[in-house]
Structure 1
Amino acid sequence: MGRRLSGRLVLATHNNGKLAEFQALMSPFGVDVVSVGQLGLPVPEETGTTFVENARIKALAALEATGLPALADDSGLCIEALRGAPGVYTADWAGPARSWDVAMQKAQDELLAVGAAAPAQRRGTFVSVLTLVWPDGHSETFEGRAEGTLVWPTRGAHGHGYDPMFQPDGSDQTFAEMPEAEKNKISHRARSFQQLAAACLK
């Protein structure tokens, strides 16, 4: 069984899109979410080789800097035709300027380089690992996945990251074409958050 979370929570991110998403997810439970970016805290070096390792590194750094319960999401896109790349290096594909247009173009270029043109060859999985740590060292980890197809050209103006090129199974829209509330029901992050909510927010 999880431990009940309430009050203020620090989210280990400098990504405003991710912050907005978690604020929307947490608000019904009365949890106030502030990000390490808003607090001007540095980004820890993500030396892990898995989503779980990197989520824990970020959560512990946020906890140590603030003394507040801390939540970190390490998420990424794993492309089947690219043997799981970019995976934990998903954000790195956006380059130093963190341009998601650059990242999506790189994904498209890499897919074409291996001859992945047909939809069946362009399968991808978004993975979200959430690690929640408390000041006494207690921690819990949750993982969610969303399966889909990578489309080109990109479509939609909502969301963030690779959303404009990811069309989840069962939908004819990309994540970036969906209203936030609709995406938040089916996204990888929504699925990991649903597990967290069942364990720690009910």
Structure 2
Amino acid sequence: MTFVFATNNENKVREIRSMLGDAFRIITLKEAGIDIDIPEPHDTLEANAREKSTVIHNMTGQNAFSEDTGLEIDALNGEPGVLSARYAGEQKNADDNIDLVLQRLEGQSDRRARFRTVISLIIDGKEHQFEGVAEGHILMERQGGKGFGYDPIFRPEGSSKSFAEMDLAEKNQYSHRGKAFRKLIEFLQQ
């Protein structure tokens, strides 16, 4: 079975392909010859994921999926949330985003946070959504050089490492994206 993955983020593609193995064929936007940045105009992860999968399904006529992920920090009233990629501005710079989070959490003892991923799958013209959550907390400073985005400052519950200190297989055990994709795979195997 083949799906178009509505993303331009190579890191996400690598994570997904490592989870799916050879069970399903994933075509990236680039491989599909699509060079657009799909807007994320909505205020929920669910609506943004739906927007992206719908746009690509309508463009290609193929089964498609997308995901939207947000980091939700309790002490920041759920921020950065849907604005996670653009928290420090439209340039979408991960280091700037991390710096802003650490700055806003300065002096805060409550560092509870979660990553939440919502996948929107359109298969045979019908949408299905799957959610994955990784509870954890924000570290005082960056730790590790792997991963991407907020990985250097997020430590999931049950681990002594940040996401950026884990290899892909270990991260996928804990990660929000891993949990959501396991639900998607389960659904597809039925």
Does residue 5 of structure 2 align to residue 17 of structure 1? no
* In structure 1, distance between residues paired with 2:25 and 2:140: 38
Q: TM-score, normalised by structure 2?
A: 0.94
Does residue 63 of structure 2 align to residue 75 of structure 1? no
Task: Confirm or deny: 8 A CA contact 2:102 2:141 kept in the other structure.
Answer: no
The runs of 5 or more residues in structure 1 that have no matched partner are: 1-5
Does residue 128 of structure 2 align to residue 128 of structure 1? no
What is residue 92 of structure 1 aligned with on the other side? 86
Task: Confirm or deny: 8 A CA contact 1:144 1:190 kept in the other structure.
Answer: yes
* In structure 2, distance between residues paired with 1:104 and 1:168: 16
What is residue 64 of structure 1 aligned with on the other side? 58
Task: Confirm or deny: 8 A CA contact 1:15 1:37 kept in the other structure.
Answer: no
- Output the amino acid matched with 1:124: A
The runs of 5 or more residues in structure 2 that have no matched partner are: none
Give the 5 Å matches for 1:1-202: 6=1, 8-29=2-23, 31-38=24-31, 39-112=33-106, 115-116=107-108, 118=109, 121-134=110-123, 136-201=124-189
* In structure 1, distance between residues paired with 2:5 and 2:164: 23
Q: TM-score, normalised by structure 1?
A: 0.89
- Output the amino acid matched with 2:27: V
- Output the amino acid matched with 1:149: H
RMSD of aligned alpha carbons? 1.4
1:115-136 superposed Cα distances (whole Å, 9 cap, x missing partner): 31x3xx11111000001002x4
